[in-house]
Structure 1
Amino acid sequence: MSWTVIALAGSIMLAAAVVQGAVGYGLNLISGPLLALLDPVFVPVPILFVACVLAAALSLRERRAIDWRGVGWAMVGRLPGNLLGLLALVLLPVTGFNLVIGLTVLACVVLSVVTWRPRVTPPGLVVAGTASGVFGTVSAIGGPPMALLYQNQAGPTVRATLNAFFLLAAVSSVATLAFAGQVRGEHLVAAAALVPFIVVGFLISGPARRLVAGPRLRVAVLAIAAASAVLLIIRSVV
């Protein structure tokens, strides 16, 4: 791996970390497809390791705002969601399933703009956690279901709760991959090379939070969800 590749990958991760630190999610959406094109070694193991570091830092920064009850209920759905996602990968055409995911997320965004005001309830959290597990396993974009559910909450609650959930989800994914023998030395080296860029992105995201304060945070949450949906739809039909 050349220094040029590391610099490009690090720049992508830095930008993605700023977005996630300011809005609450977006790291995988921004970095995943680009890093896969740059060098497949970055996906998925190194990104998951780096996601753990960033999610831990973001959770600690606004730890008093974490909705631990919500995280717990969401994780109840996340684990079976992972299994359902694996089942979907085995039984269903990935392209068609990604199209369904993209259209579902886009429909939720449209409903949010028009009439839908989701409430953070245990049943809703379990459903969002399950959807996150399925979507994340199949398409590597598991953030929108949880983000859409929390879209009307205060900024610190959105960022801290989503990242506490992402931390647990990423750790479980890394543990699963390690158990399956999919974590190699080159993955650890790639992850270590990206960590300094993540740290810089985390630091920049602190003041960047002011840019999406108040109602603008909800707009940013919906915009990122819509972008992820459109990306999946394009990848499915092209």
Structure 2
Amino acid sequence: MSGLEFALLCVTVGVGALLQVSIGFGLGMIAAPVFALVDPALAPVAVLLLAGGVTATVLVRERGRADLRGCGWALVGRLPGVLAGTLLVVALPTRYLALLIAGMVLAGVAVSIAGYVPRQRRSAVVIAGMVSGLMGTATSIGGPPMAMVWQRLRGPELRATMSAFFLVGSLMSLAALTAAGTVRAHALLGAALLTPAAVAGVLLSRHLTRRLDVRRTRLAATALAVAGASVLVVQQFV
């Protein structure tokens, strides 16, 4: 990895961490395509580790505001999704995993643009958790299904609930990937080297979160994710 590529990863992680803290998700959607472009061996493990640390920070900051019952049902659904996602990581070659990452980003954006708002029923939360588990474990992009089902939550409650789910969910995914033998020292080292960038994003969010327009921030995050996914698709066929 060149110095320029490492700088790109640092900027990506910093911006992703800022968005994760501000709107409850975003690190996986933005970072996963870039990681797959620069160094596929880092995804999904390094992204899951970085996202886990950032969500723990949000949970501490927004403590007491999470919908723990809803989070619990989502985690019930996540378990079978994690197992399915682990099988995909083991079975699919790197190229197909890259295309899967791009596809998950674009599918999440398409659903968001369509404006679909499911009722926040227990069954919907469980199904969203299952899809998030599969996507999050295989590609580190588990945010869109939960953002969709919990979009009626606002502000601190949304960030806290999403963070509680993703913290536990990331640990579940990492445990499954470790058991499957797909966690490599290279990914662990990459996560360690990129941790300062994630910390910088979290610290910057303290000054910017209240000033950010949530709608415009989500649009910006979506645009960045689509750009990364599009470049990733093109790379696979060049």
Question: For this structure pair, what is the TM-score category when the shorter chain's length is used for normalisation?
Answer: 0.7 to 0.9
Q: Deviation of residue 166 (structure 1)? A: 0.8
Provide TM-score, normalisation by structure 2.
0.79
| Aligned residue number for residue 214 of structure 2 | 217
User: CA distance change for structure 1 residues 201 and 85 in 2, over 3 Å: closer, same or farther?
Assistant: same
Alignment match, 2:150:
150
Aligned residue number for residue 21 of structure 1 = 21
SS of match in other structure, 2:141: coil
Deviation of the 1:30 alpha carbon: 0.6
- Which runs of 5 or more residues in structure 1 are unaligned? none
| 178 and 54 in structure 1: CA distance in 2 versus 1, 3 angstrom threshold | same
State the alpha-carbon separation in 1 of the partners of residues 79 and 113 from structure 2: 28
Q: Contact (CA 8 Å) 1:42, 1:187: kept in 2 or not?
A: yes
Alignment of 1:54-203 (within 5 A): 54-85=54-85, 105=108, 108-112=111-115, 116-203=116-203
- What amino acid maps onto 1:33 in structure 2? P
1:109–1:225 CA contact under 8 A, matched in 2 = no
Which amino acid counterpart does residue 135 of structure 1 have in structure 2? M
Gaps of 5+ in 2: none
Conserved 8 A contact 2:78-2:131: yes
Q: Report percent identity of matched pairs.
A: 38
Measured on the aligned residues, the alpha-carbon RMSD in Å equals 3.3
Kindly provide the amino acid, as one letter, of the partner of residue 217 in structure 1: V
Q: CA deviation at 1:4?
A: 4.5
- Give the superposition deviation at 1:119: 3.5
What is the letter of the counterpart of residue 156 of structure 2? P
Partner SS, residue 63 of structure 1: coil
Q: Which amino acid aligns with 2:214?
A: L
Structure 1 length-normalised TM = 0.79
Q: Which moved more, 1:149-158 or 1:130-139?
A: 130-139
Evaluate the alpha carbon distance shift between residue 7 and residue 181 of structure 1 in structure 2; reply closer, same or farther with a 3 A threshold.
same
Amino acid paired to 2:78: R
The 1:41/1:219 distance shift into structure 2, 3 A limit, reads same
Closer/same/farther in 2, CA of residues 58 and 130 from structure 1, 3 Å limit: same
232 and 64 in structure 1: CA distance in 2 versus 1, 3 angstrom threshold: same
Structure 1 residues 217 and 149: alpha-carbon distance in aligned structure 2, compared to 1, 3 A threshold: farther
